[in-house]
Structure 1
Amino acid sequence: MIDPADIDISNFLTKWYGVPDSKEQERSHCAWLPDPLRSWYDLIGRWTKFLSAGVRIYDPQQIRVDKGKAVFMADSTGDWFWAFDAKDLKTVYEAELRGEWRLIPESLPEFLVHLTLMVAADTANCARLCSQVSNETLPAVLVAMEEIGFGGWRWPRPGRRMFMSEKLIANVGPAMDFRAPWRNREGFSSVGISGINQQDLEYLDGITSIKWVIPDLGDCVS
């Protein structure tokens, strides 16, 4: 299992997006933010291609403390939120709209690695999706990848795991039960595979039992 602390997100972003295309910016107004978050904002700002999808990452100037929690991110619908603790600056919390804050079993640095990989996977030019992959077939899908030891989020459904290799990222979570969408379908997983190049995903064509959806994300690098 990959230790999140061993993932250098600067090297990862360079491999995923190419060399930085923007200069570092001075963020004097961010001085009060936790060091890992402030450094993360400075880092991702060097790649204009780093655009969040599925979540909305607040601009540092929009972060405000409310009842001890500093909200810095929300999902795209505004129904789920993430915040750091304004006192210890190391812990991260998540909550549904009008729900109670719950501690995430990831430190802030680990959370930011998790977030970086999630955004990169969600905005990749090359991807395959399938909402119903049998668990017997899953090893063939993930053959080139290793699981990352993230603590885990409850959003969008508890039980999601992330895997990666040099050129691939996979998000694996519980499959939805068609008869009861709020329940998981036993023996199946929802899988999304993202890659840097189209050719890195071609091995999936050999798994004929899976009908992949190919999202229209733009032109893949051949």
Structure 2
Amino acid sequence: MIDPASIELPRFLAAWFGPPAADEKPLPESCDWLPRALREWHELVSKWDVDLSFVTRMTPPDNIKVSDGKAIFMSDCGGEWYWSFDPAMPDRVFNAEFDEPWESNSESMAEFLKHRTVMEVLFGADTRMRASLVPDELVQGILGSAEEVDFGAWQWPVPGYRIFMRGDVLAQIIRCEDGPGWDVDIAAPKAEALSGLREMANVKWLG
């Protein structure tokens, strides 16, 4: 298992998007009340000219407000799930489906933001391949030496998905709901890193 603490976000982002394109943009003093990890995340990603909003959206820091004791800082792109923090416990993350009660996430804010960043990069990658109904023995061939990242379990987008890393290659697997095997997503910064997978027998890649 890969410890999420070992993932260095500056190196990770540089591997996918190249060197920073700009200096860090400090948040205004009005955002000083936000969790430190959240402030640092926004300042870090401001150095790259990329929009990490493929499956979730971050609330602009100066638009984050407290309502009923919780401050929403992220939502899914469909507006069905929300993530928040409690100003009295800024390192804890809470999640809820629309109109459902808040539940505590198992990850700290810092780990949660790494999890979110890796997921966004995986689903937004230009070089990405997908396959469905992949049997167990072929999944192992696809993953190769990739190790699972010990992220906390999210109930969104679906419970039970697992994320793997091998160098700069990212993969996600989840048990199929409509048949035996696994749904597999795999991505890399450069197409050649995945070229050999396209020739795998009995795997029908969708992209």
TM-score by length of 1: 0.89
What is the CA-CA distance between 1:160 and the residue it aligns to? 0.9
Aligned residue identity for 1:51: L
Determine if the alignment matches structure 1 residue 193 to structure 2 residue 186. Answer: yes
Aligned to 2:77: 76
Aligned residue identity for 2:15: K
What is the CA-CA distance between 1:176 and the residue it aligns to? 2.0
Distance 1:11 1:56 in 2: 22
What is the CA-CA distance between 1:50 and the residue it aligns to? 3.8
Give 1 or 2: higher helix fraction. 2
Aligned residue identity for 1:209: N
Aligned to 1:13: 13
Aligned to 1:136: 137
Determine if the alignment matches structure 1 residue 204 to structure 2 residue 190. Answer: no
3-state DSSP of counterpart to 2:181: strand
Aligned length: 206
Distance 2:6 2:133 in 1: 31
What is the CA-CA distance between 1:167 and the residue it aligns to? 2.1
Percent of aligned pairs with the same amino acid = 36
Alignment of 1:29-178 (within 5 A): 29-177=30-178
User: Is the 8 Å Cα contact of residues 52 and 117 (structure 2) preserved in structure 1?
Assistant: no
User: Is the 8 Å Cα contact of residues 147 and 164 (structure 2) preserved in structure 1?
Assistant: yes
Aligned residue identity for 1:211: K
Distance 1:165 1:21 in 2: 26
What is the CA-CA distance between 1:45 and the residue it aligns to? 0.9
Aligned to 1:219: none
What is the CA-CA distance between 1:37 and the residue it aligns to? 0.5
User: Is the 8 Å Cα contact of residues 131 and 176 (structure 1) preserved in structure 2?
Assistant: no
3-state DSSP of counterpart to 1:122: helix
3-state DSSP of counterpart to 1:5: helix
Distance 2:157 2:74 in 1: 14
What is the CA-CA distance between 1:120 and the residue it aligns to? 1.1
Aligned residue identity for 2:196: Y
Aligned residue identity for 1:119: E
What is the CA-CA distance between 1:111 and the residue it aligns to? 0.4
Please provide the CA RMSD for this pair: 1.2
> Which sections of structure 2, spanning at least 5 residues, go unmatched?
none
Distance 1:97 1:188 in 2: 30
What is the CA-CA distance between 1:188 and the residue it aligns to? 1.5
What is the CA-CA distance between 1:174 and the residue it aligns to? 2.3
User: Is the 8 Å Cα contact of residues 91 and 106 (structure 1) preserved in structure 2?
Assistant: yes
Distance 2:51 2:136 in 1: 32
Distance 1:71 1:9 in 2: 23
After superposition, the C-alpha distances for 1:74-125 in whole angstroms (9 at most, x for unaligned) are 1111011111122111111111100111111111111011011111111111
3-state DSSP of counterpart to 2:44: helix
TM-score by length of 2: 0.95
> Which sections of structure 1, spanning at least 5 residues, go unmatched?
178-184, 215-222
Moved segments of 4+, more than 3 Å: none
3-state DSSP of counterpart to 1:136: helix
Compared CA separation, residues 131 and 57, structure 1 to 2 (3 A): farther
Distance 1:122 1:200 in 2: 17
